[in-house]
Amino acid sequence: MNDLYPFINLPLPYAYDALEPYIDEKTMHLHHDRHLQTYVDNLNAALKDHPEAQRMSLQQLVTYSGRLPRSMRAAVHNNAGGVYNHRLYFDSITPGTHLPSGELERAIVMEFGGLSGLNEKLKAAALSVFGSGYAWLCVTPAGKLAIATSPNQDTPLARGCCPILLVDVWEHAYYLKHYNLRAAYLDDFAHVIDWDKAETRFAECRMSRQRIARRRL
Ligand code: MN3
């Protein structure tokens, strides 16, 4: 999945116009081919002369950028975050959406009273991001679903969030179609959430928690 240097811009798993009318084709082209491509290029450039950092996975770069030499720290933090966050965002949406089922559906009922409760909380969190950033659906270290937000290209990974779903609320994600109406974009976004992949990530997050818990015994 191209998790190491040199990073490439992975193709979208669906056509650029597949999410119409909720997310428009032109936005998808600009967002994937220009914005994400720039993060990929800038991340590779930041790592170019640092063989030790080239051995780190994308997730390690995102989580541990603070341990890198000061001269490259900000560039890696912002651009590894840009690549990681966009890959997860494009993997959070699909044209062929199904409703959540199984363990994830049960957890959504438990934490939010149901899907509409979750959508409402996710929307409120996404609206609360001042300026550019993201809203996340995470699994906490206690194994519960929780919503988090992050500014710029930050991630909540180091805060114990195992991410299962990500909403990009940078204006470039919606401005061409929804203008300044972030709330309208978020209502449309709810129609294209990939609950199948969210369910897979939910199971993976809970498995990795169990592995960590067993190691501690
Ligand atoms: Mn974006």
Whether residue 111 sits in one domain with residue 79: no
Residue 9 lies in a domain: no
HSE-up of 70 (CA within 13 Å, CB side)? 0
**Residue owning tokens 């994600």:** 173
Q: Give the domain CATH number at 184.
A: 3.55.40.20
Instruction: Tell how far the Cα of 184 is from the centroid of ligand 1, in angstroms.
Output: 17
pLDDT for residue 213: 67
Instruction: Tell how far the Cα of 35 is from the centroid of ligand 1, in angstroms.
Output: 7
Calpha distance 76→70 (Å, rounded): 10
Amino acid type, 113:
G
Q: How big is the CA angle at 75 (ends 175 and 33), to the nearest 5 degrees?
A: 40
Instruction: Tell how far the Cα of 170 is from the centroid of ligand 1, in angstroms.
Output: 6
Calpha distance 166→20 (Å, rounded): 19
Whether residue 145 sits in one domain with residue 197: yes
Q: In this structure, are strands 162-168 and 145-151 parallel, antiparallel, or unpaired?
A: unpaired
Instruction: Tell how far the Cα of 86 is from the centroid of ligand 1, in angstroms.
Output: 6
Whether residue 139 sits in one domain with residue 197: yes
Instruction: Tell how far the Cα of 46 is from the centroid of ligand 1, in angstroms.
Output: 20
Instruction: Tell how far the Cα of 109 is from the centroid of ligand 1, in angstroms.
Output: 29
pLDDT for residue 179: 96
Instruction: Tell how far the Cα of 217 is from the centroid of ligand 1, in angstroms.
Output: 41
184: Cβ–Cβ under 8 A, 6 or more apart, which residues? 178
Whether residue 194 sits in one domain with residue 120: yes
Whether residue 122 sits in one domain with residue 58: no
Whether residue 171 sits in one domain with residue 81: no
Q: In which domain, by residue range, is 60 found?
A: 25-91
Residue 1 lies in a domain: no
Instruction: Tell how far the Cα of 162 is from the centroid of ligand 1, in angstroms.
Output: 20
Ion ligand 1, residue ranges at CB < 5 A: 168, 170, 173
Whether residue 139 sits in one domain with residue 72: no
The last residue of a domain, from among 62, 91, 120: 91
Residue 119 lies in a domain: yes
List per-residue pLDDT tens for the chain, 217 residues long: 789 999 999 999 999 999 999 999 999 999 999 999 999 999 999 999 999 999 999 999 999 999 999 999 999 999 999 999 999 999 999 998 889 999 999 999 999 999 999 999 999 999 999 999 999 999 999 999 999 999 999 999 989 999 999 999 999 999 999 999 999 999 999 999 999 999 999 999 999 877 766 766 5
pLDDT for residue 150: 97
- List 93's β-bridge partners, or say none: 193
Amino acid type, 55:
R
Q: Give the domain CATH number at 35.
A: 1.10.287.990
Whether residue 39 sits in one domain with residue 79: yes
